[in-house]
Chain A
Amino acid sequence: MEVTDIRPMLAPMISFACAGLVFLMGKKPFWRNFWSLSAASLKLLVVFTMLPGALKGTVYVFRLVEFTPGIGLAFRTDALGMFFGIVSSMLWVFTTIYAIGYMEPEHAQVRFFGFFALCVSATVGIAFAENLLTLFLFYETLTICTYPLVIHEETPEAMKAGRKYLIYTLTGGAFVLLGTVLTYQLCGTITLSKPGILSLSAGPAALTWLFVSLIAGFGVKAAIMPLHGWLPSAMVAPTPVSALLHAVAVVKAGAFGILRVVYNVFGVELLRQMHLTTWLAYLAAFTIIAASFIALFQDNFKRRLAYSTVSQLSYIILGASLLTPWGATAAIVHIANQAFSKITMFFVAGAIQRKTGKTCVHELAGIGYQMPYTMGAFTVAALSFVGVPLFAGFVSKWYLSLGALQSGQWWFALVMIVSSLLNAGYWFPIVYLAFFKSPPGARLRIDEAPWTLLAPTLICAAYVIMLGTTVDVPAMPFSLARAAVQFVFGM
């Protein structure tokens, strides 16, 4: 059932207005924090008011403007969009609290919080985009608005990373636009409201090019190898930026785009007939393994996190390209599972850096004595990534393996097992260092990070456990993912 409602547009607009207010009044820390926090909470509230309807199958639609028939800007909250929208609005609240604490000694905070809000605005816009053009518009906005955040430190290294980031993502954006135009040319519409709009009659060659173009475009942000080069460099950004944007918003925008392409532009039926996703699945599997191997050898904490992100994102892509209901379930829930686990780790890395100035893994010996709660949260996230039952990551791995078996490609289940081992290989040493080794000579006592850093970390860690123990966590509804799967598979 479709209902016209302004709330799908309101959600991105709140963040947008927040950005404006921060730019106008943000010189004073109080107003900056006030507007950031209240906008984050208000948006979460708005998104949640749509949840009961969304669970009952109501779809809220808002058409903003139509340039010519079929081409316009419109917003729509289907189950898949709603899922991504909830994850990103929820994490915005936590990250805002964290950022207020973390950024205290930093310069250019007005710019930081202003663009931060703009990025979140764009992310929700992506989640609620009704058509490819709206999706593209917000996708590009996200690119532009993250640039000032990546170069926040304004060091030569940061500027270089920023340039690299722009070159990668803008090129990706151009491919998305190309794909959008081609889609319109092939089927006369660019809506994302159907389970597939293309048909085989468009000709296999054109469809193949279109698929490559769209996947390459979104794949840049989803960091599929070999398009991942920007992600590790972009880790020079301040930690809250890396946390929200490079573990959640930016990279998930790419992954979400791929889900849209697979499920709403092409449709499962067509892709099955065309066998286009086979190579994508292999590419994703390769990325999962290869990025994990690289992560094993990273000593810089945030770089290790970055490569882990590259690896984890390909879970989503692998799940999508299996084209089975279980695979799709895994892909969708992994958006939330990876987001909460990864953001916990980033929060930990940032807290350690702020508290002790340590940025490398080998320096972390004994840190668990000093910051037990922080490192406890880290351990939870690590267990989740390894895929231990009772933690969020297990759920994704379980469904992904089921999906692989369902499609008759059992070797992808093996990939899951290898990936678990590799994850254990690069996360457990940190846990071991933190709790079982003490640095020579020093007497350690508990000296935790301030509550603005600690509280979001612990809450996110708690969510990781909740997501793992019960699939239907309050406010993170598994049933949305299930509804999305049923919609795209026509069940």
Chain B
Amino acid sequence: MLLWPHWLALVVVVPLAGSVVTPAVARGSGRVAGRWAIGVMTVTFAIAITLVLRVAQTGPFSYWFGGWEPPYGIEFRFDEFSAFSAVIAFIGLLAVIFSQRYAEQALSPKRIPYYYCLLMLNLTGMIGFTVTGDLFNTYVFMEILSLSGYALVAVSGEKTAEMAAFKYLVLGAVSSLFVLLSIGMLYALTGSLNMADVSARLTAGVPKLPLIVALAAMTLGYMVKAAVFPLHIWLPDAHAIAPSPVSAVLSGLVVKMGVFGMLRMYQIVYRADVVDLSVLNTVLVWLGAISIVMGAFFAIFQDDIKMMLAYSTISNVGYIVMGLGLASQYSLIGASVHVFNHALIKSTLFLAAGAIIHRTGYRTLTDLRGVGHGMPLTGGAMAIGAISIVGIPPTAGFLCKWYIALGAFQAGRPFFGFALVFGALFIFIYYIRMVNAFYFQEPVHPEVARIGEAPVSMLAPMLILAALCLVMGILGRIPLSFIEPAVTRMLATIGG
């Protein structure tokens, strides 16, 4: 095929171009915009899947823009972690399908084309972020996804949404500045922006203090993006107030970009092996553990389902960050796979919550009592999502948590295995509350128990995701063995 050599670039170019022209293509029609978005995301997803297959067969590969060799040109590099781009495209596609009916009801018609434009821009930013091999590119894509993210939170135009978006904007902008500062310092220290090249140039001769400051700034910036406690305060409002398909994207994918940034940073620094990362690791492990517990703790007291799901994201990012900080083979594999699995699980939950809110117009657990009888399929998807996120076998959440816990013991830090298991217990409690309300409590509004199912365009995406929650659990060894070489490579230089 003619485009084959440029395939890796296309995974970013297609959604970028598709998104920018959306308002022009749609000419004011929300329906046309919706169809267009589905088309664009389908193509993007197809491209991403071929890339994943290629990386599974041949290992990581690169694309050099204009044929310029790195470090002089811009490099896209697709490794096993970049396979997340396929998940982004997939969830993006499902979110777009879900939005067809949702947007009609939730947004004013004039805004719909712009909504799709922003949503695809956001997805583009994320895909770019996962595949780029260049530090400054990272920043550019991060800004694309952040700015579109702020706008998406505010897209409904309600007062509270604007407030939440503003809070998100302020913290997000500050965190971006930290990352930019760090990239600048790394450039000053090494004279390069290509990740592999930076890593190679970080030799023993590099002054330690500026490097440590740069790494600290980058971690801090990404921690805000990932909503690690105590930098999480922007997340619950923003995720709960956004339209549900957007919440799915924000909670399942966008926060992962913070984690992803940290992963990339670790790749650079581990390979270079010039600074001792144990302090940073300790900080991450502790903050991860605290995030797990605090996220779960706050979630217990929420009555708004989307608010509850938002706090649950904080817990789950806590798991991932803890896995990163433990820095053992098992925990890193577990954390990386949880990046994928949590994206699927949390999207299931947010889409199901969105369908419920769409049908009933209520959003608190008290109002929604009995909705499991009224919307059996949606309720079922929600229950599968809940079981997965708690980490009960045989669902997707189980193996990741199992691996992270094993990693804690492997790293000789059983306390964190302890924290993990008891965090899961907390999470269990509030999802039991949810299931209890949906199925077993006497309805407050009798009509809720007879409300009827959501339309197919909403049901299909969430049922597909729910099925994947099970499949990723039962066939859990596939993602684990897929990601393993990347983790092994990453750890290879630590201590020989």
Partner of B476, one of A67, A148, A171: A67
Check B393–A209 contact: CB distance below 8 A: no
Question: A137-B393, A185-B410 are contacts. A67–B428 as well, Cβ < 8 Å?
Answer: no
Residue B181, interface by CB 8 Å:
no
Most buried by A among B398, B428, B429, B480: B428
Contact B409 A181 (CB under 8 A): yes
Looking at the assembled complex, report how far the CB atom of A156 sits from the nearest CB atom of chain B, in whole angstroms.
15
Question: In the complex the two chains form, what is the Cα distance from A450 to B474 in whole Å?
Answer: 49
- Chain B window 269-301, contacts with chain A (Cβ cutoff 8 Å), 1 for yes, 0 for no: 000000000000000000000000000000000
For the complex, what is the distance from the CA of A140 to the CA of B414, rounded to whole Å? 22
In the complex, residue of chain A having the shortest beta-carbon distance to the beta carbon of B418? A178
- Using A71-B402, A140-B392, A185-B406 as known contacts, say yes or no to A178 and B432 having CB atoms under 8 A apart: no
Asked if A431 CB lies within 8 Å of chain B CBs, one says no
Check A170–B425 contact: CB distance below 8 A: yes
- When C-beta atoms are compared, the residue in chain B nearest to A167 turns out to be B429
Asked if B399 is at the interface (CB within 8 A of a chain A CB), the reply is: yes
Chain B residues with Cβ under 8 A from A68's Cβ? 399, 476-477, 480
Interface residue B440 (Cβ < 8 Å from any Cβ of A) = yes
B424 to A, closest residue via Cβ: A174
List the A side residues contacting B394 at CB < 8 Å: 65, 67, 73
Instruction: Give the CA-CA distance A171 to B476 in the complex, in Å.
Output: 27
Distance between Cα atoms of A185 and B410 in the complex (Å): 7
Q: Which residue of A lies closest to B480 (CB)?
A: A68
A111 to B442, CA, bound (A): 13
In the docked arrangement, what's the CA distance between A175 and B418, Å? 8
**Bound Cα distance A428, B398 (Å):** 51
Interface string of B418-433 (1 = CB under 8 A from A): 1001101100110010
B354 interface residue (CB < 8 Å to A): no
Q: How far is the CA of A182 from the CA of B424 in the complex (A)?
A: 16
Nearest-CB distance from B415 to chain A (Å)? 11
**B417 part of interface (Cβ distance < 8 Å):** yes
Alpha-carbon distance between A184 and B425 when the two chains are bound, in angstroms: 20
In the bound complex, do residue A67 and residue B473 qualify as a contact, i.e. CB atoms below 8 Å apart? yes
> B11 — which chain A residues lie within 8 A by C-beta?
none
- Verify B405–A181 contact, CB threshold 8 A: yes
Separation of A59 and B480 alpha carbons in the complex (Å): 32
**A485 within 8 Å of B (CB atoms):** no
* A458 interface residue per 8 A CB criterion: no
CA distance A351 to B73 in the complex (A): 85
B474 touches A65 (CB 8 A): yes
A148 to chain B: which residues have CB within 8 Å? Answer: 440
A interface list, Cβ under 8 A from B: 65-69, 71, 73, 111, 133, 137, 140, 144, 148, 166, 170-171, 173-175, 177-178, 181-182, 184-185, 209
- 5 of the cross-chain contacts (CB-CB < 8 Å) are A67-B394, A73-B393, A73-B394, A140-B392, A166-B429
Report, nearest first, the 6 A-B pairs whose CB atoms are least far apart: A185-B409, A67-B476, A68-B477, A174-B425, A181-B405, A178-B421
Given contacts A174-B424, A181-B417, 15 further A-B contacts (CB under 8 A): A68-B480, A69-B477, A71-B399, A71-B402, A140-B392, A173-B425, A174-B421, A174-B422, A174-B425, A175-B421, A181-B405, A181-B406, A181-B409, A182-B414, A185-B406
